[in-house]
Amino acid sequence: MKAEGKRRIWDEYQKEIAGDKYFYVRSCVRQNFFPGAEKTFLRYMKEMGKTVYENPSHTTCSGIGYHSDIVPFETAMTMVARQFALMTESGYENFVTSCITSFGLYTEVLETWHHFPELEEKIRLHLRNATGREFKKPKNLAHASDVTYKLRKEISRAGKYRLVNRNTGEPIRVVEHIGCHYSRMFPSKGVGGAEYPYVLVGMIEEWGGQVIDYPERRHCCGFGFRQYLVKANRGYSISASKKKFDSMKPYKPEMVLTNCPGCPMFLDRWQYTLSEMEGTTYGENGQGIPVLTYEELAGLILGYNPWDLGLQVHQVPVEPLMDKMGIPYDPETKFLDKNGHSMGKPKSPSFLKFY
């Protein structure tokens, strides 16, 4: 592997990312999947002195329906136009999405309007007729992982921990997995392009870790929308995840880092399912491979309480990673809510080592 070859590609795919004053739109599903991730983003953005505004009237972008073939494109475009109207009404110009599919959809809509301005006019009319709203297009569109990538050095400077094994001094070996809708449709809109995306690699390297490239790096996480959303297809979903784990295992990854709602969900949950189905685990000593969102990892680097990050709801325990990084945690408070009440403890899996 020639690192300079990758660096050359990375140099060619750099994008402009606004520095402050962001209009933030949340994901439909992330708060159910990994409930602390978005909150953590808002927390470190505030600590870095950045203004992030959320408008309570914002809705789904409809991307999940669009990519599942149940929402027509014109409807999706009108939903997107409404989000832009909220941004305009709120006095913001820099649009930041939490969800990768939303980012892909917003990008696709803006590109469509660029090439077919008559469609933009049509959608403006739809929105006007339906809601009376008008909008300006964002000056800057970024995914929240782009913004975190932009702040990676500041996070590193403010950080208390590094992606380094404190016992050996070796960098933590990290698999990075990018959501399909981040840059595969429009490579120039993602940091690092489509084939060798850099957005997560940049964070991992800056925070001390070592990135693993493995043969099935580009393969789907297992979500793939209809692979999972259509119940009869779920065998495809889990077999896609299995293919990835089998491929990455020889490289002994110590964690997986993601930037999509679906990827951490499936790479995390299916490890449990695979262990129950086949008795197979992919980490060291019967452990799984912890799967984190970039917000959760940034939170760990910054020294936030792991249970405030929501790491207790991960199916694959994150404790082995925290032990390596020297991050303290209190097992006694793991399953207590913020008022100190027990949330109940999940049943231990049959094979996957549980903490």
Partner 1 sequence: MENTVIVIGGGISGMTASGMLALQGMKVTLLEKEAETGGHVARWDRLFPDRKKAAEVLDFAREGMKNVNVVTGAEVTGISWHDKGFTVTSGIMQPASSVPGPESLIANSGSLINEIAAGESNYTARALVLAMGFDLFEARKKEEYGYGIYNNVITSADLEEKFKSGKDILTSEGKIPARIGFVHCVGSRDEKVGNLYCSKVCCVTGVKQAIEMKEMYPSAEVFNFYMDLRMFDRHFEELYYEAQQKWGVSFIRGRLAECAENPDGTIILKTEDTLTGKPLKMTVDLLVLLSGFVPASGTAKIAGMLGLQRGTDGFVNSADSHSMNNLSGIPGVFLTGALKGPISISEAIADARATALLLADYLKSGKP
Q: Which range, of 21-29, 32-40, 193-201, 298-306, touches partner 1 by CB under 8 A?
A: 193-201
Amino acid present at 112: T
Say how far apart CA 59 and CA 40 lie, in whole Å: 21
CB contact at 8 A, 22 and 50: yes
Pick between residue 110 and residue 194 the one whose CB is nearest to partner 1. 194
Q: Does 111 bind partner 1 (CB under 8 A)?
A: no
Q: Does 279 bind partner 1 (CB under 8 A)?
A: no
DSSP 102-120: HHHHHHHHHHHHHH-HHHH
Residue of the chain from 82, 189, 217, 242 that contacts partner 1 (CB under 8 A): 217
Residue of the chain from 5, 286, 326, 331 that contacts partner 1 (CB under 8 A): 5
| Residue 96 β-bridge partners | 24, 142
Residue of the chain from 179, 193, 317, 349 that contacts partner 1 (CB under 8 A): 193
Q: Which residues contact 14 (CB under 8 A, 6 or more apart)?
A: 191
Q: Does 195 bind partner 1 (CB under 8 A)?
A: yes
Q: Does 251 bind partner 1 (CB under 8 A)?
A: yes
Backbone angles phi, psi at 159, to 5 degrees: -70, 155
Q: Does 252 bind partner 1 (CB under 8 A)?
A: no
Amino acid present at 110: L
Pick between residue 6 and residue 58 the one whose CB is nearest to partner 1. 6
Q: Does 185 bind partner 1 (CB under 8 A)?
A: no
Relative orientation angle of helices 37-47 and 294-301, to the nearest 10 degrees: 50
Q: Which range, of 5-13, 18-26, 132-140, 335-343, touches partner 1 by CB under 8 A?
A: 5-13
Closest-CA residue to 164 (of 126, 206, 136): 206
In the complex, minimum distance from the CB of residue 181 to partner 1, in angstroms, rounded to a whole number: 18
Q: Which two tokens stand for residue 84?
A: 């832009």
Q: Which range, of 1-9, 21-29, 169-177, 304-312, touches partner 1 by CB under 8 A?
A: 1-9
Give the binding site for partner 1 (CB under 8 A): 1-2, 5-6, 8-9, 193-196, 213-218, 250-251
